Amino acid sequence: MIYKTSEDIEAAKFLLSPPGDTLLETIESIGLSQKELASRMGRPIKTINEIIQGKTAILPETAIQLERVLNISSEFWLEREQNYRLELAEIKEAESLIDTKAWLDNFPLKKMKELNWINYESNDSLEKYNSLLAFFSVSNKNAYYKNYNLDGELMHCRMTQNVNKSPYSINVWLRQGEIQARQLPNVAFDLNRFKTNLDEIKTIMAQQPDSFFGTLQNLCIEAGVKVIHTPCLPKTKLHGATRWINGSPIIQLSNQYKRNDIFWFTFFHEAGHIIKHGKKDVFIEGLEYTEIGKRKEAEADSFAMKYTFPEKYEPQLLKGINAASNQIDFINQFALSINTHSALIIGRLAKRNIIHDSVGWKHGFYRSINLANC
């Protein structure tokens, strides 16, 4: 590409001269008006004016007529026209490529390639562009904005002012969730079955065996709910999302901090959205919502607390932990007694500033969850 910067392009545009400039200089030098030239060539004055402005190209028959009237070879006019059109095309192509490069910079392409979500061999912008369009299953940038607009009615929410969040990265994360969800079986949603299976999932949360995620997925699929894990991307800072795609509810989890208390609270929070809220809403944890959205988020939080650590147990917990000779043993026993994970209790105590959050890592409560192969 000849032009590599916007400054290069602007300079080229300034210097760009259509063959009409040469034509105008020629007829002015011999005292011939545009009207008289048109008459001698047997062409409309409008056509001559458009050639001079560069709006109409000099075709072979026009070049022959100019040669006869002005005694300047037709080859000269055709070459002048060809060079002008070629330079004009180069400028437009450079503008398009520079614009495409700038657009591509919005996306975490390197991370996407590392995760095998897209594939490109070279650093060529066009190859990256085509890979990204294929990932989103759209034909061009305009189609991308039409189908993946976080600020529009599609998402029913708006971005926060946090500069570390990128709507482009969030769209990539959500799109990957769509792709993963298509790979899971389609089962008709059964609300009663889902509620019943949530009780079994609560026990899995409390015990959390190494293979828990596969069991979690299967129990949800039995009820027609697809649960997927999509690694968190730079500039997303999302815990999870809930939406309905082709009649199936989807729970997408990022496992952002690899903490089991956050993972399980997020799962039950998303489950709350499915049970309590409509199919048209899209809930993305980590974004800022309207007042109605905030109310629904609070309802989902209450639902999650019911399954992870109901507030009614807090007085009993606080009384016991203050009297316990070994707080860690007490927390483990208390978690077993209410069928939850110890990390949920530690997290609640840390949130209440009763213990420091570091206790959760020090004693292994915030067991690092690795879902890399899920």
Q: Is 5 helix (H, G, I), strand (E, B) or coil?
A: coil
Report in angstroms the alpha-carbon separations of 262 from 45, 206, 239, 266, 293: 75, 14, 8, 6, 21
| Residue burial 157-191, b: 16+ Cβ < 10 Å; e: rest | bebeeeeebbbbbbbbbbbbbbebbeebeeeebee
CA angle 311–313–314, rounded 5-degree value = 70
Instruction: Decide if pLDDT at 159 tops 70.
Output: no
Sign of the torsion angle spanned by Cα atoms 15, 19, 20, 23: positive
Identify the residue with better confidence: 65 or 148: 65
Identify the residue with better confidence: 162 or 174: 174
Q: What is the pTM of this model?
A: 0.75
Instruction: Decide if pLDDT at 31 tops 90.
Output: yes
Q: Which of 25-29, 98-102, 142-146, 266-270 comes out lowest in average pLDDT? A: 98-102
pLDDT digits (tens, 9 = 90+) for 191-218: 999 999 999 999 999 988 888 999 999 9
Instruction: Decide if pLDDT at 1 tops 60.
Output: no
Instruction: Decide if pLDDT at 155 tops 50.
Output: no
Any idea where the domains of the chain sit in the sequence? 6-104, 109-147, 167-308
The whole-number pLDDT of residue 290 equals 74
The whole-number pLDDT of residue 205 equals 94
CATH architecture of structural domain 6-104: Orthogonal Bundle (1.10)
pLDDT digits (tens, 9 = 90+) for 59-89: 999 999 999 999 999 999 999 999 999 999 9
Q: Which of 1-5, 15-19, 136-140, 209-213 comes out lowest in average pLDDT? A: 1-5
DSSP 115: T
Percentage of the chain with pLDDT > 90?
61
Instruction: Decide if pLDDT at 276 tops 60.
Output: yes
Mode of pairing for the β-strands spanning 226-229 and 240-245: unpaired
Instruction: Decide if pLDDT at 150 tops 80.
Output: no
pLDDT digits (tens, 9 = 90+) for 216-268: 999 999 999 999 999 999 998 889 999 999 999 999 999 888 888 899 999 99
Q: Which of 32-41, 101-110, 138-147, 286-295 comes out lowest in average pLDDT? A: 286-295
Q: Is 205 helix (H, G, I), strand (E, B) or coil?
A: helix
Sign of the torsion angle spanned by Cα atoms 351, 357, 363, 367: positive
Kindly state the average pLDDT of the residues 264-289.
87
- Interatomic CA distance for residues 37 and 100, integer angstroms: 44
Dihedral pair phi/psi, residue 298, rounded to 5°: -65, -40
* Sheet strand arrangement including 248-253: 226-229, 248-253, 240-245, 283-285
pLDDT digits (tens, 9 = 90+) for 9-18: 888 899 999 9
And the tokens for 324? Answer: 């316990």
Q: Which amino acid is at 316?
A: Q
The whole-number pLDDT of residue 364 equals 75
The whole-number pLDDT of residue 158 equals 31
